Structure 1
Amino acid sequence: MLSIDPKMLFRLDELEQDLVERRTWAVAEGWQGEIEGIDLTLTFLRGKRAQAQRFQRSGTVDLGLPHQRPPITDG
């Protein structure tokens, strides 16, 4: 799943503005399929923005270093 770098939130704002303008044009032209596609894309974009904003607030999580498990013995 694609993760957005919180530093790039401004780019999502630019993309959203462009999609809203395209949607306005599609409504004026009566392109129902295009409107539905843009609406779906806007929903995903806004979800990604919310995800990135949550990540930005919470920071990073230290998962530690992986370690090797001891071998399983019969006995």
Structure 2
Amino acid sequence: MRRARVALGDCGRSYGTSCVHEHSCLRCSLLRPDPGQADRIVEIRDNLLDRITEAEREGWLGEVEGLKVSLAGARQKLAELAELAERDRRAATVNLGIPAFRDISSRTVTAAESQT
């Protein structure tokens, strides 16, 4: 099944289906953020904080609530990216340097030696 590619990652909806969020992907639980877009999400989060401050100062209470929902979404997506990075870090293969038996055995017995 093909997934829709959006600016911040991949949409979990089937390709061609409509989305009620109308490009407000940060609010959508189906957005799978692209780790390469983390800096952009941080910029969006910071911009939302500035816009909330402005809206509170101007008394735009409805706007404040909508921006806070978007801010919560941005924080959630950043947390998802941090969790993904941590999971990838833990899943990385680590060479423990465990030696093979031939490397640790002090002496190898051959067939000729065992007959004497």
Coordinate RMSD, CA, aligned: 1.4
Which whole-Å deviations, capped at 9, do the CAs of 1:36-68 have from their partners, x for residues lacking one? Answer: 011111111101110111111212x8xxxxxxx
CA distance in 2, matches of 1:30, 1:22: 12
Unmatched segments (≥5 aa) in structure 1:
62-75
The corresponding residue for 1:23 is 52
Unmatched segments (≥5 aa) in structure 2:
1-29, 92-116
The corresponding residue for 1:38 is 67
Aligned partner of 1:29: which letter?
E
TM-score, L = length of structure 2: 0.49
- Shift in Å, 1:5: 1.4
Report the identity percentage. Answer: 33
More relative contact order, 1 or 2 (CA 8 Å, 6+ apart): 1
**Structure showing the higher strand proportion among its residues:** 2
Report which of the two structures shows the higher radius of gyration computed on alpha carbons: 2
TM-score, L = length of structure 1: 0.73
Moved over 6 A (4+): none
- Shift in Å, 1:7: 2.1
